Amino acid sequence: MSKRVTVIGAGIAGLTTAFRLMQAGFKVSVFEASQHVGGAIRTASHDGFKAELGPNTVLETCPQIGELIEAAGLEDQRIYANEAGQKRFIVKGKKPIALPSSPPAFFMTPLFSVFAKLRLFKEPFIPSWDNSYEESLAEFVVRRLGQEFLDYAINPFVAGVYAGDPKDLSVQHGFAKLYALEQKYGGLIKGQIKGAKERKQRAEESKQSAKMISFKEGLSTLPETLAKLLGSGLSLGRKVTSLIQEKDQWSVQSILEDGTEQSTSADHVIYAGPIYALKEITLDGQLQQEFSELSEIKHPPVTTLTLGFKREQVAHALDGFGMLIPEVEGLNILGALFTSTLFPDRAPEGHVTITAFIGGTRQPEIALLEDSKLLEVVLTDLDTLLGVKGKPVFYLMKKWDNAIPQYNVGYGKYKMILSSLEQSYPGLHFTGNYCSGISVSDTIKHASELADLLVEKSKQGVH
């Protein structure tokens, strides 16, 4: 008899897990409280412009990404970022400066002083951290690379990826691979060289070298296709309110938008919804302290603003992936992607698109400004940095009140809670961007591994 699985949440984590389990012969039901699939992955099109309201790309870092795309029948829809996307800019002195792409270029770049460059030679001789306490990313970087690298490399990178602050983020949990390089190999430079061989053996790519992908009609093609393939196994507008364990079975209580209550039985329950919404579900008839604690994981607000301009309105060549902005520069946006450079058909002929990111832990109040004021703030910064003149011919704004989970110092507490819940309640599982990395690729990888684990357990007759 095939195993019955209920998946809560139809973001990319829930859809990936459900689809992989359906392929393996499981009877899968996916319950999504909203009328939308894909979670933060959303693509909008208007008058020849395409805008990503959440993530813009997927990094092909592991085999599971390609396997999912192939299994979903989307190989002919997959597109890779243009070569120009390899070029990235960091703002210094209110000007975008290209990151060096080779050792000779690094020693010529004005991004770092001569002292900062020479200090790199010291890095291989700095001992590994003794773990006397949990380091923040900022402490880690200053210790190994110096303050300048924190200010003009790591700080803007963290703002672009996490919308977070390196002074708060845990290097051990938020940047586990970086932490492992030092612990295993004794340093970053030594680890990069020696670790490359191990990544090759695992058929993995580092995030620095992995290819960026999307789809012809935008990133939402992936979750929307998975949803179609799940067919009647997916229910929208169905909010789970209670989980009850009965021996080795689960009873999943849910409520439809019309107020109708329903109950479903399952062998496994997979929670793939936002972690901050978990506290709204009771477990065995009671509100769980652990669920409330997990809901404390910080998610700062972030606003994405995609703007379309006539080509002549923008002085900068937009010849790259985009630009990241260090906090020390004192600007209002976290960074911007040159989206029409990255992928084709993101803007009509003679036009360009730029996607700006605002808020995060750096300036959460700006992300929540009224639309007209926020647009004015962004246009002022883009004029300063890129020479953008006049009003956009197109713009689309999306405000995310709870955007990205912050793997702050002490995040191990939340991972222990997740592990303890899974051990205490056999058949209950968790997957999402709060488990093993925040990127779309990290989320797909974790969801795929969970599906593989359940398939293997089923073969062994283990619950």
Of the listed ranges 76-85, 101-110, 191-200, the least confidently predicted one is 191-200
Specify the long-range contacts of residues 252-256, CB closer than 8 Å, at least 24 apart.
252/6, 252/8, 252/31, 254/31
What is the Cα–Cα distance from 210 to 312, expressed in whole angstroms? 33
Count of residues making up the chain: 463
Q: Is the distance from CB of 244 to CB of 284 less than 8 angstroms? A: yes
Average pLDDT over residues 99-122: 92
Write the pLDDT tens digit of every residue in 371-392: 999 999 999 999 999 999 999 9
pLDDT of 115 higher than 90: yes
Write the pLDDT tens digit of every residue in 241-281: 999 998 889 999 999 988 999 999 999 999 999 999 999 99
Average pLDDT over residues 169-173: 97
Average pLDDT, the chain: 94
pLDDT of 463 higher than 80: no
* Homologous superfamily (CATH) for 4-39+224-297+407-460: FAD/NAD(P)-binding domain (3.50.50.60)
Tell me the HSE value of 231 on the side-chain side, using a 13 A CA sphere.
Answer: 6
Supply φ then ψ for residue 451, to 5 degrees.
-60, -45
| Nearest Cα residue to 143 out of 106, 110, 171 | 171
Percent share of the chain, pLDDT over 70: 96
pLDDT value at position 1? 46
Write the pLDDT tens digit of every residue in 279-293: 999 999 888 899 999
β 302-310/282-283 pair status: unpaired
pLDDT confidence bin for 55, thresholds 50/70/90: very high
pLDDT of 75 higher than 50: yes
pLDDT value at position 300? 97
pLDDT value at position 208? 66
Q: What is the dihedral of CA 421, 424, 426, 431, to 10 degrees?
A: 10
Ordered alpha helix ranges (H), 24-151: 63-71, 103-108, 114-119, 137-144, 147-149
pLDDT value at position 103? 85
pLDDT value at position 343? 95
| Nearest Cα residue to 271 out of 295, 305, 246 | 295
pLDDT value at position 345? 94
Average pLDDT over residues 437-459: 95
Average pLDDT over residues 425-440: 96
Average pLDDT over residues 305-314: 98
| Distances, alpha carbon 281 to alpha carbons 244, 260, 316, in Å | 11, 17, 50
pLDDT confidence bin for 102, thresholds 50/70/90: confident
- 243 DSSP assignment: E
pLDDT of 160 higher than 50: yes
pLDDT value at position 248? 85
pLDDT of 81 higher than 70: yes
Domain positions in the chain are 4-39+224-297+407-460
Write the pLDDT tens digit of every residue in 322-372: 999 999 999 999 999 999 999 999 999 999 999 999 999 999 999 999 999
Within its chain, how far is the Cα of 341 from the centroid? 21
- 379 DSSP assignment: H
pLDDT of 196 higher than 80: no
The amino acid that residue 107 corresponds to is: F
The structure tokens listed for 352 are 């360009």
The structure tokens listed for 271 are 């929670």
Q: In which residue are the tokens 């972030």 written?
A: 302
Write the pLDDT tens digit of every residue in 224-239: 999 999 999 999 999 9
Prediction pTM value: 0.94
What is the Cα–Cα distance from 379 to 387, expressed in whole angstroms? 10
pLDDT confidence bin for 304, thresholds 50/70/90: very high
pLDDT value at position 205? 63
Q: Is the distance from CB of 21 to CB of 455 less than 8 angstroms? A: yes
- 178 DSSP assignment: H
Average pLDDT over residues 86-108: 93
pLDDT confidence bin for 204, thresholds 50/70/90: low
DSSP E strands: which ranges in 19-80?
Answer: 27-32, 43-46, 49-52, 58-59, 78-80
What is the Cα–Cα distance from 275 to 299, expressed in whole angstroms? 10
What is the Cα–Cα distance from 281 to 212, expressed in whole angstroms? 36
Question: Phi/psi zone of residue 161: left (φ > 0), alpha (ψ -120 to 50 degrees), beta?
Answer: alpha
